[in-house]
Structure 1
Amino acid sequence: MDKSYSPNKLAALWKQAQELCDKNKLEDALELLTPICSEINDSEYISFLNLAGLIALNLDKNEIGFSWLLKSYKLDPKQVEVNYNLSIIYENKKNYKSAVGHLSKALDLDPRNINCLFNRANIYETLELYEDGLADISKLIRLEQSADVYNLYGLIQNGCKNYNQAINLFKRALDLDPDNIEFMNNLAISHKDNGGLNQAKNILLEAIKINPGVALTLNNLGLVYEEANQLEKAVEYYRKSKDLQENFANSYNLGIAQLKVHDYKNGWKNYESRWEINSFKLKMIRTKKPLWDGSECRSILVWGEQGLGDEIIYSSMLNDLKTYCDNIYYACLSTKTISLFKNSFKKIKVLAMDEISNDDFFDYHIPVASLGQFFRLDAGSFEKYEKYLFADQDLKNKLKEKFNKPLIGISWRSNASVSKNIDLKEFKKLIHPNYQMINLQYQLTIKEKKELNSLGIKYLDLELFDDIDTAAALIDCCEFVITASNINAHLAGALNKKTFLLSASGVKQFHYWMSPTSNSLWYPSVQIVNQQKNGNWARDFELIYKQI
């Protein structure tokens, strides 16, 4: 510290800065403190740094505030308030790791600090680290029973899929703050996730009566209607939400709903807002080349962006590109599909995503699902469908040698959602004397293997999850495929196999399984079997049996 700053002078400067703050003359206070903050190099005077840092933050001079608080922290790391304030800055920067680090240091010093416990639990909830959040919020609820604490506790329990506990916690929050629209929305979403669509709808309609100008409420009501398969109502409320306050969430939801009702022109346009969602952003390739705009070009890179099923279904549009471009490259998001795609798209250069070391070899690029805005704009654009995936013939022939009857391939489970699953025992009703039933289900459990044996359904010791070539070859050996909504449905459809897709009642379906006819627009060989009675496949399986 400069010797010109005597103890008396420092005391006077501190008093003057405090008086300026009391008069709300924050700019003047910061200007007064800046010279001394620059001179401080030991922990004796860190109170000046802390005050200057907080003043700067209040003036939205975040980097200046951050620099003074960080300097204070480095001089004395054992300050609860400084660690807390630094955590807020890091959280605003979405640097959650550093934010949690400072909150943890503060809590080591003061384990019962309410603000630190709340903020760390809140960050854990944001990061979907629900078990960590549960540990913090369980401590916090013993110290403070405020509406905000109950609400955060509810969000964490909902993330843990403890829906009944979440519902009770949101109700406690609303007991303390009855007209809080945020809490009402959270309660409604918990009811929706718990299957209580009517309760969710009624809560959201009540929230709209209290305040009709909240875009989140309208968006969530759209989610409820979509879950209930009332798609026109879902579109209506997503659109109202977007008109009120456009954001990527309501635009994306509107796009999906519009695709489900076959409003492809608007649906694809709104679906592009997915690139504002973090999970999609992470898959965006790094390139300075422009997105393809639908015009003729010399070369284009199309790249995979989602799961295996999506990669397969949207690759149906790759051949449409041939009239626009001579040099087409396709980068597979999953290495599992590379060999199959190379065998199927002979005039397209198929490569792995990690082979893209630079962007010198293409003029334009486009994520594969975005081709829909050019090639799938109405039901008629699906009519030119042709089989586009081709299994390895040598592998297929070797597998065929193992059977002496025509095959019916079955799979009953989806890793994406247990609600799509079918009880394996149901397939006993489809055993036919003229066919051999063969397992297509990947990642079999020991219990499932025993059950297959007891039903007389053949399964081979094959890798059907990681080895897509083998899965495709086995499916291509089949006369019929009967499957839940999983990768097998996509492979069978792309191979143009007669397929029965089992769509359980009350289960939210992807837009591409929503069709104006009984067969999929995307895969004409796939017949969508919508369960007629919730929890009971008897009648549906009877109708399938008559067709095989």
Structure 2
Amino acid sequence: MLFDLTAFEECERCYREALRLDPTYAEAYCNLGGLLIKLGRLDEAEVNLREACKLNSCFPEALNNLSDLLRLRGRPEEAEACCREALRLKPDDVQAQLTLGNALRESGRFHEAESCYRAALDHNPAWPKALNNLGTLLVDLGRPDDAIRSLRMAVAQKPDYPDAHFNLGVALLLAGQFDEGWREYEWRWKQDRKKSQLRGFRQPLWSGGDIGDRVLLVHAEQGLGDTLQFCRFVPAIAAGRRVVLEVQRPLVPLLAGLPGIEGIVALGDPLPSFDLYCPLLSLPRVLGTTLETIPQQASYLRADPQRVAAWRQRVRQLNGPRVGLVWAGNQAMSGDRRRSIPLERFSELADLPGVSFVSLQKGPATSQSPPPGLSLHDWTDDLHDFGETAALIEALDLVISVDTAVVHLAGALGCPVWLLNRFDRCWRWLLNRDDSPWYPTLRQFRQPQPGDWLSVLKDVRAELEKYELSNIARS
């Protein structure tokens, strides 16, 4: 009952007291592990769940909880093994069916995951959690209409279900139904996983309208790419209003020149006085943005001209076309294993005559070695912020990247960019198109099937062979 009432601290105290009285109480270890997962304390959760399994090797509930944890830690193969053992012990365990579906989805085995979710729904067709999980999977499979139906059913069964509302918003956005999509997307702030990001401002949330002489804080809330994509809306909001923009520190030099803002501050620095606030990704809802009214300037950000000139001097030594390359995203992001490509797979682009690749990759993936025959020049040690990266991009002829912030940066600069897009694409890239309403200079190369990067890279090679420098140079 305490767990259901989300009295987490008291719940944890009770489980630990039970274990003090009986250190061999496997059920208490299992329940404590499940609670710690909900609290995001995954290291502690794993210790407790493994202890539960050690004390009782035939404990399907503990195996199910451990599977969920392993999936969250990016170990879907181990998660699958735990779930299958739980189902061997208890074949009619519908929660284990659901958890197995989650592990298979994380591995990119979407059709197998769908079978698991539907098996769970065969036992209880009105189970909101199963309807929600099926809906999110159908988004991955590019079936937004089916996803919307499933998620509407989940919301009908449980009207205050934040995850189902948010996922419905994603499905609607993927389908291009922006009006309702933005409204449902606001439910993100009620999700458990977002509660740690709530700012707790005393000032009221701004939902549009005149603010007089009051100061509005617009703040970044998600990843660097999201900030780069949605900062396009700031000038429209700042016109006739006093606006202060808060963004991630690496973006401050680049975004400081956005028209109309009164000031810019790095996330983590003290905020100036303000009267109202609005999250950056809520601006399209405030503005009533539809698919047809997305601001489509050729470019809305610009690198420092002196930095661009310096980089042009450096890249002049390379044979053209000069192509920027990014092969991996942030490993901490859910689904990164499906969106990133090991650098060795780019052997398909090796030995292209006259093409010089320039690394724009940052983070742990920089330790990967290029395949033989791929000429990859690396100046990333000099890329200290996104302003510097923007200058290098403007000095290149083309950027080729998986779905990372660099795609958004190149698009915002109005530079040619080719997106290597996974099968379960983000909602913002929509369906059945190889262009983007967000970036006029972007072209998509999509996986035809989950995990099929070979087809994508073959298509990219064919296009690179077809184009001369004049074909891909910026207009």
TM-score range, shorter chain: 0.7 to 0.9
SS in 2 for 1:382: coil
The corresponding residue for 1:441 is 361
Alpha carbons of structure 1 residues 159 and 245: separation in structure 2 relative to 1, 3 Å: same
* Correspondence 1:367 to 2:279: yes
Deviation at 1:179, TM superposition (A): 4.2
Equivalent residue letter for 2:437:
L
Residue by residue over 1:344-374, the C-alpha shift from the partner in whole angstroms, topping out at 9 and shown as x without a partner, is 4464421234455464x44x32111001113
Deviation at 1:330, TM superposition (A): 0.9
The corresponding residue for 2:241 is 326
Residue by residue over 1:469-502, the C-alpha shift from the partner in whole angstroms, topping out at 9 and shown as x without a partner, is 2111111111211111112111101111011111
The corresponding residue for 1:75 is none
SS in 1 for 2:293: helix
The corresponding residue for 1:520 is 436
Farther-moved stretch of structure 1 (170-179 vs 485-494): 170-179
Bigger Rg, structure 1 or 2: 1
Note the 1:26-425 alignment, pairs <5 A: 92-95=6-9, 100=12, 103-104=15-16, 107=19, 110-144=22-56, 145-174=58-87, 178-246=91-159, 247-298=161-212, 299-323=215-239, 325-332=240-247, 334-345=248-259, 347-357=261-271, 359=273, 361-362=274-275, 364-375=276-287, 377-382=289-294, 384-404=296-316, 407-415=322-330, 416=333, 417-424=336-343
Contact 1:131 1:160 in 2 (8 A): no
Cα distance between partner residues in 2 of 1:99 and 1:383: 49
- Normalising by structure 2, we get a TM-score of 0.84
Higher-RCO chain (CA-CA 8 Å, sequence separation at least 6): 2
Residue by residue over 1:429-454, the C-alpha shift from the partner in whole angstroms, topping out at 9 and shown as x without a partner, is 37665654322112376754x53896
Cα distance between partner residues in 2 of 1:384 and 1:161: 37
Cα distance between partner residues in 2 of 1:234 and 1:162: 26
Alpha carbons of structure 1 residues 347 and 515: separation in structure 2 relative to 1, 3 Å: farther
Instruction: Report the RMSD for the aligned CA atoms in angstroms.
Output: 3.1
Deviation at 1:380, TM superposition (A): 1.7
Which residue, 482, 506, 512 being the options, matches 2:400?
482
Return 5+ residue gaps in structure 2 as ranges: none
Cα distance between partner residues in 2 of 1:427 and 1:129: 40
Deviation at 1:304, TM superposition (A): 0.7
Deviation at 1:111, TM superposition (A): 2.2
SS in 2 for 1:112: coil
Cα distance between partner residues in 2 of 1:190 and 1:163: 5
Alpha carbons of structure 1 residues 187 and 443: separation in structure 2 relative to 1, 3 Å: closer
Of Structure 1 and Structure 2, the greater helix share is in 1
Cα distance between partner residues in 1 of 2:415 and 2:207: 34
* Correspondence 1:546 to 2:466: yes
Deviation at 1:427, TM superposition (A): 6.4
Contact 1:438 1:459 in 2 (8 A): yes
Farther-moved stretch of structure 1 (398-407 vs 521-530): 398-407
Alpha carbons of structure 1 residues 270 and 544: separation in structure 2 relative to 1, 3 Å: farther
Alpha carbons of structure 1 residues 135 and 437: separation in structure 2 relative to 1, 3 Å: closer
* Correspondence 1:462 to 2:377: no
Return 5+ residue gaps in structure 1 as ranges: 1-59, 61-87
Alpha carbons of structure 1 residues 535 and 354: separation in structure 2 relative to 1, 3 Å: closer
Note the 1:476-515 alignment, pairs <5 A: 476-504=394-422, 506=423, 508-514=424-430
- Normalising by structure 1, we get a TM-score of 0.74
Residue by residue over 1:232-278, the C-alpha shift from the partner in whole angstroms, topping out at 9 and shown as x without a partner, is 21121111111221210100001011111111001100000000124
Which residue, 440, 445, 453 being the options, matches 1:535?
453
SS in 1 for 2:241: strand
Farther-moved stretch of structure 1 (243-252 vs 277-286): 277-286
SS in 1 for 2:237: helix
Q: State, as a whole percentage, how many aligned pairs show the same letter.
A: 21
Count of residues in correspondence between the two structures: 452
Alpha carbons of structure 1 residues 212 and 435: separation in structure 2 relative to 1, 3 Å: closer
SS in 2 for 1:483: strand
Equivalent residue letter for 1:224:
L
Residue by residue over 1:385-405, the C-alpha shift from the partner in whole angstroms, topping out at 9 and shown as x without a partner, is 341111112222122221325
* Correspondence 1:471 to 2:389: yes
SS in 1 for 2:243: strand
Equivalent residue letter for 1:315:
C
Deviation at 1:132, TM superposition (A): 3.5
Cα distance between partner residues in 2 of 1:304 and 1:353: 8
Cα distance between partner residues in 2 of 1:130 and 1:287: 28
Contact 2:350 2:373 in 1 (8 A): no
